[in-house]
C-alpha cells in the first residue's frame, strides 16, 4: 500500500472526544432566528453553547471540528442539533404560547437590565439556563448510543442554585409489539 501524500499533516480521528453529562448548564445564545415549523407556524430557534464551567465552548468546538476537512461545497457545517432549542410563538388558538412568554421571563431575569422586545437579533450572547437530558439514538451500525440534548430552559439563578430536575433517559422507540389476549374479546362486531 502506498501511504497518502498528506498522511503526516492529516489530523486523525481516534474516537476520543469530549462528552457532556445530563444536567443543568449556564448557556449563551450563539444565534437566534425565527423559522417556520413543518406545519407552517412561526417558532423562535435558539442555538446555544455552554458559557461556564469545564465544558465552556463545547458546542463551538464541535462546530469547528465539523468544518475541518470538509471539502464538499454542498455539505455545510451546521450547529449541533443537541444544542438547539425551539419555542413556538403562538399556541393552537393563535394566542401567545405560554412557553414563549416563559422564555421572555427567563431571558430578562437572567440578563440584568435586558428587556425582551421580540427582536431575536438582540438575543446573541445573552445567557440562560439549559437542562440537557440523555437520549438514545441508533448508530449507523445499528447499535444504540446516547447523547445529551437541550430539553428545557430555566433562569441562570435556578441552574446555579440547583433548582431543577434532570429528566430521565429518553429511550428510542424500538417499535415494540404487545400481545393481546383475544380469547375474551367482545369486539367481534368490528368491521376489520
pLDDT in tens, 76-114: 788 999 999 999 999 999 999 999 999 999 999 999 999
Grid cell at residue 63: 462546530
Q: Which of 114, 110, 130 is nearest to 20 (CA)?
A: 130
Max Cα–Cα distance, the chain, nearest Å: 74
d(CA 40, CA 45): 14
Q: Are 136 and 145 in contact (CB under 8 A)?
A: yes
d(CA 16, CA 18): 7
What residue has cell string 448557556? 27
Q: Which tens digit of pLDDT belongs to each residue from 117-147?
A: 999 999 999 999 999 999 999 988 888 989 9
- Predicted TM-score of the model (pTM): 0.79
Amino acid at each position: 500500500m502506498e501511504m497518502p501524500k498528506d498522511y503526516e499533516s492529516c489530523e486523525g480521528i481516534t474516537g476520543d472526544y469530549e462528552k457532556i453529562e445530563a444536567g443543568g448548564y449556564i448557556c449563551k445564545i450563539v444565534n437566534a432566528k425565527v423559522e417556520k415549523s413543518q406545519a407552517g407556524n412561526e417558532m423562535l430557534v435558539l442555538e446555544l453553547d455552554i458559557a461556564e464551567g469545564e465544558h465552556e465552548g463545547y458546542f463551538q468546538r464541535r462546530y469547528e471540528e465539523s468544518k475541518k476537512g470538509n471539502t464538499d461545497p454542498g455539505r455545510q457545517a451546521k450547529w449541533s442539533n443537541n444544542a438547539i432549542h425551539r419555542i413556538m410563538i403562538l399556541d393552537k388558538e393563535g394566542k401567545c404560547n405560554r412557553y414563549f412568554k416563559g422564555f421572555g421571563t427567563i431571558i430578562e431575569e437572567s440578563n440584568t437590565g435586558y428587556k425582551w422586545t421580540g427582536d431575536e437579533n438582540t438575543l446573541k450572547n445573552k445567557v440562560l439556563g439549559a437542562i440537557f437530558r440523555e437520549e438514545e439514538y441508533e448508530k449507523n451500525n445499528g447499535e444504540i448510543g446516547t447523547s445529551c440534548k437541550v430539553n428545557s430552559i430555566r433562569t441562570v439563578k435556578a441552574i446555579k442554585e440547583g433548582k431543577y430536575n434532570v429528566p430521565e433517559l429518553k429511550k428510542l422507540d424500538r417499535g415494540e409489539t404487545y400481545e393481546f389476549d383475544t380469547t375474551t374479546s367482545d369486539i367481534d362486531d368490528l368491521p376489520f
